[in-house]
Chains A and B, each alone.
Chain A
């Protein structure tokens, strides 16, 4: 991120510190609040999931750094891609054109690799076509972040860790959603909104802390209810059961020693991650010294290998290439990739839970507004979605008052 600003050491230092803080914060929350938070997560029904997904989609307006119209167009494209395949709610096939591959929907990972990695490789090839290689020398003197930096991002760290832990404990969410929401919140609260996307310290720590705080949060419903919050905890659940530990409401009374060992393990894992991270920053930042002629072909090959190994599907690779080329041109025309990704991740969740809520309420829309958590999230999403319309007005009024 901050390598455009020429301060990779500062960026890596801050992000490692944020990961460490987010992880430890959520592990401590897990220890103190697990049973209480699990009860909150259980009160989430389809209406709340819909409202939360809607809230996630609404932040498109703030992740699309350039034109808001282009952001919304990207979001709509993402929502459309999310509808392809068998609709789980009705069992009907949509936009499948008799293709077996499309029945299961387009996988998310190939699109992600295409839009971000493949498109970036194309752009880099273009930019270094006529460039001659110059050895850049990056010397990082210190790896631990400055005290002034820590002071500056301290509030963001806490806010993101809290949001991340909370999102983690809601089943069906994950690190990617949390990162987006934390970044959006950090931007909303920041004084330097315009500098986001150019290595603003608060932007870096918000994503990292939010992403890593999910790990502790996701373990809350897994341990206390036996309901995994994401893919990683689902595997962990299986592993614990093989060891004779049965997660569920009885775990805390029946096997307290094992539970607290797991807590300490999570805490320890985060500390070790921090130690490794800080001590290897100097090594990682050497990546910048690798000449592009060598780095780009390696990344290029990796995009193919990574896509194929995800699901052993050659079709996934074609999808990746298609979205890579699409992404290249979208980059040129200043479309926001994040908006597309948000649309894909959250579109399906929003739609399924929207129609599911209506099934449960016999078709009455009141279900979204009579349930308090759902109502609050829907109001926040509307505020967030419409903020580009009213925030200039607000600013004017504030200025007048100040004057």
Chain B
């Protein structure tokens, strides 16, 4: 008898817990309920931190808005990005997409492309930076290239996995300058590249400079150039490859997007909130404290970058054979 009583209580408690999640929809102005945001990377990474940062400051500029972030890192991010694209375009499901969106479709990993989304804002676009040991004999891009020409295949360049963005940056570098280096993959990410470069196990890397800033500031590493259209605020004294006459632009971006076809007015509300957020000083400070240099590409500007990179990677995957 007592056993039955206990199980009845337990069932009732569970039923009560389960129903608390159900809330009825209101009919007020947008947003009238919580907005779900799907981040296709795991919690704590660059994409996650920058998306959550942007959303925190957007809430302050959007009356009644509350964003709930869910992380879905399955399939290297494909699942999460596909979930956003397939969600109902009612403005209550948004998502983050990353530069890999423009690469997966050429690697046969997914059919998803940038034109299935409406861009809201892009808070982060980290350039590839050429970083070497501080005591290395080369002090500029040209000297480094000359060294590579004299010692073919001898320079070991770290990347974050074969066919991933920093590896592609290395291929583009080789193609542009007609040199050849050894590609050494560190699939667990840039922290491992930083350790290997600082420990002298590899000679150089082309990667997001933010993971290397502590070593650069301490004087154990130096940065020779960045693959961006403008100099980065992280390293204002370092020239871009553009300035040297080589149009290499490789950037790891993440953008907040909505599934295509959401009402224009609501999209505008989101874009304005994102603009106000990214232009505020406290938001900039938050990003900088995390070692991220914030950018503020809103709406069509962000969409343009997603499109440009799509075209660039189409060419990259047509001309470079990654299978060797």
Contact = CB atoms under 8 A, between A and B. Distances in A.
Interface centre among A86, A231, A243, A250 (most CB of B within 10 A): A86
Interface in B1-39: 3, 6, 10
A171 interface: yes
B6 A294 contact: yes
A362 B154 CA distance: 10
A225 B70 CA distance: 31
B189 to A, nearest CB: 10
A45 interface: yes
B74 A88 contact: no
Contacts of A250: 214, 217-218
Interface string B57-85: 00000000000001111111011001000
A293 B156 CA distance: 60
Say which size band chain A's interface belongs to. Answer: 35 or more
Interface string A347-370: 000001000100110100000000
Contacts of B163: 90-91
A360 B184 contact: yes
Contacts of B153: 362
Nearest to B153: A362
Contact of A249 (B196, B199, B215): B215
A139 to B, nearest CB: 24
Interface string B203-245: 0000000000011011010000000000000000000000000
A249 B218 contact: yes
A312 B6 CA distance: 31
Contacts of A172: 188, 192
Interface centre among A102, A228, A241 (most CB of B within 10 A): A241
Contact of A356 (B3, B110, B185, B289): B185
Given A42-B198, A100-B78, A359 B184 contact: yes
A104 interface: yes
Contact of A88 (B109, B161, B289): B161
Contacts of B220: 249
A238 B290 contact: yes
A248 interface: yes
B191 A91 contact: no
Interface string B39-60: 0001010000100000000000
Contacts of A100: 74-75, 78-79, 82, 110
Interface string B162-174: 1110010000000
Contacts, number: 134
A101 B74 contact: yes
B290 A42 contact: no
B183 interface: yes
A312 B72 contact: yes
A315 interface: yes
B181 to A, nearest CB: 11
A226 B214 contact: yes
A175 interface: no
A313 B71 CA distance: 9
A91 B215 contact: no
Nearest to B188: A172
A73 B109 CA distance: 32
B184 A356 contact: yes
A43 interface: yes
Nearest to B107: A91
A104 B290 contact: no
B199 A44 contact: yes
A42 B74 CA distance: 32
Contacts of B194: 225-227
B44 A234 contact: yes
A127 to B, nearest CB: 18
Contact of A43 (B109, B185, B199, B214): B199
A246 B216 CA distance: 12
A377 B10 CA distance: 53
Interface in A120-148: none
Contact of A241 (B71, B76, B290): B290
Given A171-B195, A311-B72, 19 more contacts: A42-B198, A45-B199, A46-B196, A91-B322, A104-B73, A104-B76, A225-B195, A226-B214, A227-B198, A234-B44, A241-B289, A241-B290, A248-B215, A249-B215, A293-B3, A312-B71, A312-B72, A313-B72, A360-B184
